[in-house]
Amino acid sequence: MRIGLFGGTFNPIHRCHLVIAAQARDRLRLDRIVFIPSGHPPHKPSEPLAEARHRLEMVRRAIAEDPSFQVSEVELRRATTSYSIETVRTLRGEYGPNAELFFLIGLDAFLEFPSWRQASELLQACHFVVVSRPGSAFLSLSAMPLLPKIPPGLLTALDARSQDRIDVPIPGGTRLTLLGLPPCDASASEIRDRLRKRLSLSPLLPASVESYIIRFGLYQEESDRTGV
């Protein structure tokens, strides 16, 4: 099995999350994508999170029509801070040694990778798939610690969209894949802001997620204060 691990706060899950997952699945020939809502993310301590039960249910609704998409509660079950190395080790135990694990992450988030807990071990525990994100340049990876040297010309070609993929071997048998994907401009922060201002959300959210948010009054100013 070739399994993509797609973590995030999903606060809320939106159209671009689904587009990225589908494109990565097709480009890398993955058997499934597992969405992993985070419980207590170390790199987003100040972001006002909807309750875990709401974020989990929104993911379930968003992926319900695609049998290759699944959701895992592995991080939501953890009472302490969610570290990716622990998540990957847990899922490796669930899926077995023969499963190939592909950790999907946006370029903007991956630029913080050297500060992650046990980053070098994590890089060898699974394949990493870094996808393009608006406002971030692959060329920034040319000086990133922990990574093998990547020719700047290749990174520039990715940024210019004259090349759409680079595969970089990692010592130990894993690899780093850099994917240039078509731009997708939806963001969770923008959606939360539009909700507070009572602005239209079409086509940023799946209809099932939008109706759920409206039903429970999520991301309204009063809700943010009360933690609903």
Q: Is residue 24 part of a domain?
A: yes
How many domains is the chain partitioned into structurally?
A: 1
Closest by alpha carbon to 124, among 171, 179, 178?
Answer: 171
What is the pTM for the complete model shown? Answer: 0.93
> What confidence score (pLDDT) does residue 185 get?
80
Separation CA 13–CA 187 (nearest Å): 9
Residues in the chain: 228
Buried b (16+ CB within 10 A) or exposed e, 214-225: eebebbbeebee
Q: Is residue 227 part of a domain?
A: no
Partnered with residue 3 across adjacent β-strands are: 32, 101
Q: State yes or no: pLDDT of 27 exceeds 70.
A: yes
Show the domain range for 158. Answer: 2-184
Q: Which residue matches tokens 């419980």?
A: 39
> What confidence score (pLDDT) does residue 54 get?
97
Q: Is residue 204 part of a domain?
A: no
Give me the chain's average pLDDT, please: 92
Q: Is residue 68 part of a domain?
A: yes
Question: pLDDT tens-digit profile of 135-192?
Answer: 999 999 998 999 999 999 999 999 999 999 999 999 989 999 999 999 888 889 999 9
Q: Is residue 168 part of a domain?
A: yes
Q: State yes or no: pLDDT of 222 exceeds 50.
A: no
Provide CB contacts within 8 A for 208, sequence distance 6+. 61, 62, 64
Q: Is residue 13 part of a domain?
A: yes
Domain CATH for 83: 3.40.50.620
| Local structure of residue 49 (DSSP, 8 states) | P
Q: Is residue 46 part of a domain?
A: yes
Separation CA 117–CA 122 (nearest Å): 8
User: Percent of the chain at pLDDT above 90?
Assistant: 80
Q: Is residue 180 part of a domain?
A: yes
